[in-house]
Amino acid sequence: MVRPIVRVHRSVYRITGDDRGERAIPEESAVAFTFNTASYAVMMATPQDLEDFAIGFSLTEGVTSSSDAIESVEIVEEDVGIELRIWLKAPHAAEFLGRRRKMAGPTGCGLCGIESLVEAMRPPPTVDKGLVFTPDQIMTAVNSLFPRQALNHETRAVHAAGFWHPVRGLVAVREDVGRHNALDKLAGALVRENATAQQGIIVLTSRVSVEMVQKSAAIRGPIIVAVSAPTALAVRMADAAGMTLVAIARKDGFEVFTHPHRVKGSLTSHVA
């Protein structure tokens, strides 16, 4: 399997002086998704946790609504990239291939024409009620993610998505050069660990775009917490989905943009 981290030689020029040495950088591979031999999409991604990626992508992109529809996943290394061959069970495969035939354009290009606009703006599913969290719990969730970012500690170049549970703590963390990919991998990891997103917090190290809201809603996550700001469309989508969107989570606190009823109390000064 392709290594997720590569060490390269580089020259350093700084005010304090010049130097030479090695730097760890993340690998980036073309990852193709096929469903029962039908091409679906190609993503540039970090080549690790690929089975999580296959399962999570299938769910968050709406290829299937349940992991039970997936028969198996094959990871095939090619000279130019990696193919994730996802095999759907018979009735689900027939439904998917039927939808696929109705899509405009060649199968390898993703969604094309007017259907791509409709898909991009698809309304997210409404999330469940979920739990109520204190500001201290939200800060604990954010602070627990950074020590677990193994790839980023070496490369300083990847995003992370984690899931924090009020009893179990940080249940899973996945990293990738793509923020969407990290969230897809997290979704797959939760499925494989028999965990659900309804009773905890999805924590992101990236900004919150509309796709991040759509993907989180697809796995029924009621609350997202991100270190960066959201887009205006992401706020509207989160509001429509009934999702609590928390962003700009820094050492001194955070901001709540939608459905604040899931956050109760005040932030105490002792939270690190």
Helix axes 179-192, 50-60, angle to 10 degrees: 100
Cα–Cα nearest to 46, from 213, 180, 164, 144: 180
Active-site residue, 112 included: no
CA distances from 164 to 21, 36, 40, 42, 222 (A): 38, 34, 31, 30, 12
CA distances from 188 to 53, 70, 96, 135, 196 (A): 6, 12, 19, 28, 10
- The token duo for 118 is 């409709």
Catalytic residue among 109, 112, 117, 121: 109
DSSP 233-251: HHHHHHHHHT-EEEEEEET
Count of Cβ atoms closer than 10 Å to residue 185 Cβ: 30
Residues labelled catalytic: 109
